């Protein structure tokens, strides 16, 4: 089973990159299933129904959330009607679900959306929630388990790897929008601290640079905007899982707007 893992899709440029490049990548990389993070997909904040349909139509199978999950009010019914997840560690009673077991051929594949503590909205302990969910999935016989850990702190992401690497197939970090250079297969678990954004690459985390720079200079607030025109990138981790749900191969694929493709193979930590 080969799975594509896309980080934060940021605004119209990010969606355009997915539409342009993902169909070809599904074929060239032999992808059986694609997971992506939607939380910045509509104007940089949240997700609309129109944009959700656009991204699913481009070849994404399931999408995960984060701290901007609730920014568009229409997301609530979509969480029930579409293959969309919100972080699993929101309290009981919050709309939607944080884990879904899909079928890839005859094999069950569990995808968990999880959100960190540091700098994030109030949520339950992600480590306790993840430990409980993974234990329940294992008891049900699900061996192929992928986690999107949407977190600010790199230490939280590494900590989750150390805790769960014997039991899950892949942990891919999202939220910071900056891709990290630590793609690893560690004890049969693929890990990367942050896949990196899909969207504008020539500004500040996918947003027009004017407001962020003014905030750094003055401390005054301002609204971030996704540029109408920019240089783009699509970033995706690809992991191959064996029949036991262990990662046997992984790479990072970056596709630039001129069509240049860069591939980085995962480091194997034995």
What distances in angstroms separate CA 41 from CA 14, 45, 73, 118, 142, one per listed residue?
7, 7, 14, 23, 30
**Quick count: other Cβ atoms within 10 Å of Cβ 91?**
8
pLDDT digits (tens, 9 = 90+) for 59-87: 999 999 999 999 999 999 999 999 999 99
Q: Using CA atoms, how far apart are residues 14 and 42, in angstroms rounded to an integer?
A: 9
Total-model pTM: 0.96
Among 47, 64, 67, smallest CA distance to 7 is for 64
Euclidean distance between the first and the last CA atom of the chain, given in angstroms as a whole number: 21
Residue 244: its pLDDT value, please? Answer: 98
Q: What angle do CA 175, 179, 184 make, to 5 degrees?
A: 105
Domains detected in the chain: 2-269 (3.60.21.10)
Q: Using CA atoms, how far apart are residues 29 and 24, in angstroms rounded to an integer?
A: 8
- Assign 104 to helix, strand or coil: strand
175 in catalytic set: no
Residue 128: its pLDDT value, please? Answer: 98
Q: Using CA atoms, how far apart are residues 34 and 152, in angstroms rounded to an integer?
A: 23
Residue 15: its pLDDT value, please? Answer: 98
What distances in angstroms separate CA 42 from CA 55, 75, 126, 205, one per listed residue?
11, 11, 26, 15
Q: Using CA atoms, how far apart are residues 49 and 95, in angstroms rounded to an integer?
A: 16
pLDDT digits (tens, 9 = 90+) for 211-222: 999 999 999 999
Residues of the chain below pLDDT 70: none
Contact (CB, 8 A) for 100 and 111: yes
Please give, one letter per residue, the 3-state secondary structure of 196-224: CCEEECCCECCECCHHHHHHHHHCCCCCC
- Tell me the β-bridge partners of 251: 238, 265
Q: Using CA atoms, how far apart are residues 227 and 208, in angstroms rounded to an integer?
A: 5
43, 68, 150, 175: the catalytic one is 68
Residue 264: its pLDDT value, please? Answer: 96
Residue 112: its pLDDT value, please? Answer: 98
């Amino acid at each position: 089973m080969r799975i594509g893992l896309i980080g934060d899709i940021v605004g119209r440029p990010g969606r355009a990159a997915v539409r342009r490049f993902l169909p070809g990548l599904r074929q060239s990389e032999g992808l059986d299933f694609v997971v992506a993070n939607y939380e910045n997909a509509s104007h940089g904040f949240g997700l609309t129904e129109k944009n959700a349909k656009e991204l699913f139509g481009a070849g994404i199978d399931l999408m995960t959330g984060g701290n901007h999950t609730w920014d568009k009010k229409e997301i609530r019914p979509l969480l029930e009607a579409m293959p969309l997840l919100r972080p699993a560690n929101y309290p009981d009673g919050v709309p939607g679900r944080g884990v879904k077991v899909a079928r890839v051929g005859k094999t069950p594949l569990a995808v968990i959306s999880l959100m960190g503590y540091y700098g994030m909205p109030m949520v339950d302990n992600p480590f306790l929630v993840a430990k409980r969910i993974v234990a329940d999935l294992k008891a049900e016989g699900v061996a192929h388990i992928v986690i999107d850990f949407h977190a600010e702190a790199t230490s939280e992401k590494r900590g989750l790897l150390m805790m769960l690497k014997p039991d899950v197939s892949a942990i891919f970090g999202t939220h910071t929008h900056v891709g990290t250079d630590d793609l690893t297969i560690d004890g049969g678990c693929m890990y990367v601290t942050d896949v990196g954004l899909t969207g504008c690459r020539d500004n500040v985390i996918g947003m027009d640079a004017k407001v962020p720079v003014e905030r750094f200079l003055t401390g005054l607030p301002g609204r971030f905007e996704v540029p109408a025109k920019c240089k783009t990138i699509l970033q995706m981790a690809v992991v191959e899982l064996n029949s036991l749900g262990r990662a046997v191969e992984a790479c990072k694929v970056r596709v630039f707007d001129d069509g240049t493709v860069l591939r980085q193979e995962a480091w194997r930590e034995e």
